[in-house]
Amino acid sequence: MTFISRRFLVSILGCGMVSIAAPALFAQQPSASAPQAAGQDQTQNQDQDQDPLKRQRSSEETYKARKELRQELKGEYKTWLNEEVPYIITDEERKAFMSLSNDEERDAFIEAFWQRRNPNPDSPENEFREEHYRRIAYANEHFAAGKPGWKTDRGHIYIAFGPPDDINSHPSGGLYERTPEEGGGSTSTFPFEVWHYRYIEGIGENIDIEFVDTCQCGDYHFTIDRSEKDALLHVPGAGLTQWEEMNHQDKTDRFKGNGVESLGGGPMGDYNQGKEFDRIELAAKLFAPPPVKFKDLDAFVSEHKILTGPPFPFDVRTDFVKVTDSTDLVPITLQIRNRDITFVTKDGVSKGVVNILGKVTTIMHKTVQTFEDTVEVDQPAELLEKSLDRKSVYWKALPLQPGLYRLDIAIKDVNNPDHIGVYAQSLNVPVFEDEKLGTSSLILADEMHTVSSRDIGEGNYIIGNTFIRPRVSPNAATPVTFNRNQTQDLNFWMQVYNLGIDDATKSNSATVIYQITDAATGDVILQKQLESKELGAHSDELTVEKSLPISGLQPGKYKVTVKINDAISKQEIAQSAPFVVE
């Protein structure tokens, strides 16, 4: 089980060209008389004598200096925050650390951070800090698996809770005699370990934590399914439980129902089913998300509290991308007009602050995903008025299993606490069925480019190896808008799934057609055709991504359509998205 948290990225989308008039460099100068020349010399001497450190900075210089201070942490401070203390630092402490402006403040913060955790404040030695770094070193030395040990599930548990009281290790897997709770009988397993803690504060007594290396690559991941380590689980007739052997049964009953484990029936079956909720609860506690920071917003997304003040409007877009057979990636994009944000000006900088809280729940009101963040939008005070016609975009991608959910989002204008906005919508995460041609959402974007190999799958607006920032419309019935006067392209992105593969050539054979149509007349403005082999000859999954100059289109309403005709599976599928050029 991998737990990934990502931060929001704030992007300012220009909705118009901004020009700043500069004074003429070669204006006609009046003739200088002798007294004027003397006065000029005196002024120059005064400027030269003035201490440059005491010179009053302009608004532009003040803004630039503040922006530089808020740049991403680098060096030892970034390492400390993201690699040394990510499992023990609170959200409030992280936010406070990120707001610091110089290294002296950061050094003082780190010293106070460890002192607050020192079990003996009067001692010059900090046992907590020494033990924490010992755990990191141990994790990196013993649990590394193509990534640093502290990033693995075993490393996470070890750093958070310390060494277990006992480890039942099976580093080579192989023959394994099941316990009665697991059904008894013999089977063959992948490498696995069971860590036993007599007591973990806040969780309970006699805690067993199981890790299994299904890839046999040394990367043991946490699991609540004790049958996951069974290498013969899906092999008919092999590795039967004792109950199955005694009653001449096969494994069919193991995969009936919706339980989290596939241990087989028998006298312990009811006991195992009764304990499944305990195992789910244990996982939730071990990898518990941080507590809700914005409790005032939580009432709006959990209790659906009614707004009493003026609403804070914002737009939301959701997309769906296949990740695995059982998981979709659901990018959620929020768009807020700068004009709706309350800005406070100080020291030549106008700043707006927005708190965002989102929650995804099942139809039975069970929370499956939450996200929250504080985002800032700031401008030099003299440019604020021009920036109000722009829009700010925020992005969060959630992994979800196919099914029907409810998405609730609440935002708050921090500089105007009564200014709150809410959004609620059903979220139908699709199933991409095997052998059935399918596609992701067709995303229209104002920016799209390939990212470096180290950023693949990581960061905001990144899907796979592509950075793609979606355009957002007020609602599903309203097309997104592109402006011809801006230096931007029309970018569109879509993935295709389950293409047929020829048994002889081991390659696909499909035609990809993309076209732009005038919505008013129905005329095809542009049409191109590609063969699937050009995008990836031996894959059943393709990515269609194209960029077209928007300046070539006259103002009006248009539609992008991408059609797929699979010659092997004899299936066709198409996706369309409308847009407007202004």
Q: Which CATH class is domain 292-431?
A: mainly beta
Domains 292-431 and 432-582 share a fold: yes
- Between strands 510-518 and 524-531, the pairing is antiparallel
Domain boundaries, the chain: 69-116, 164-286, 292-431, 432-582
Question: Is the model's pTM score more than 0.75?
Answer: no
CB atoms within 10 A of CB 197: 19
Could you tell me which residues come within 8 angstroms of residue 278 by beta carbon, excluding any fewer than 6 positions away? none
Architecture field, domain 432-582: Sandwich (2.60)
One digit per residue, the tens of pLDDT, for the chain of length 582 reads 433 333 333 443 444 333 333 333 333 444 444 444 445 555 445 544 555 445 566 777 666 655 555 555 678 888 899 889 888 887 778 878 887 878 888 888 898 888 877 776 667 778 888 889 999 999 999 999 989 999 999 999 999 889 999 999 999 999 998 888 888 889 999 999 999 998 887 788 899 999 999 999 999 999 988 889 999 988 888 888 887 888 878 887 777 765 678 877 666 666 666 577 788 888 888 876 445 556 677 777 776 777 877 899 999 999 999 988 888 999 999 999 999 999 999 999 999 999 999 998 887 677 888 888 888 999 899 999 989 988 999 999 888 889 999 999 999 999 998 899 999 998 999 999 888 999 999 999 989 998 887 777 667 898 888 999 999 998 878 999 998 877 678 999 999 999 999 999 999 999 999 999 999 999 999 999 999 988 888 889 999 999 988 888 889 999 999 999 999 999 999 999 999 998
Is-contact 206 198, C-beta < 8 A? yes
Reduced to 3 states, what is the DSSP secondary structure of residue 152? coil
**pLDDT computed for residue 1 by the predictor:** 40
Element of type H or E holding 95? helix 91-98
- Which of 419, 481, 348, 288 is closest to 56 using CA atoms? 348
DSSP structure class, residue 522: -
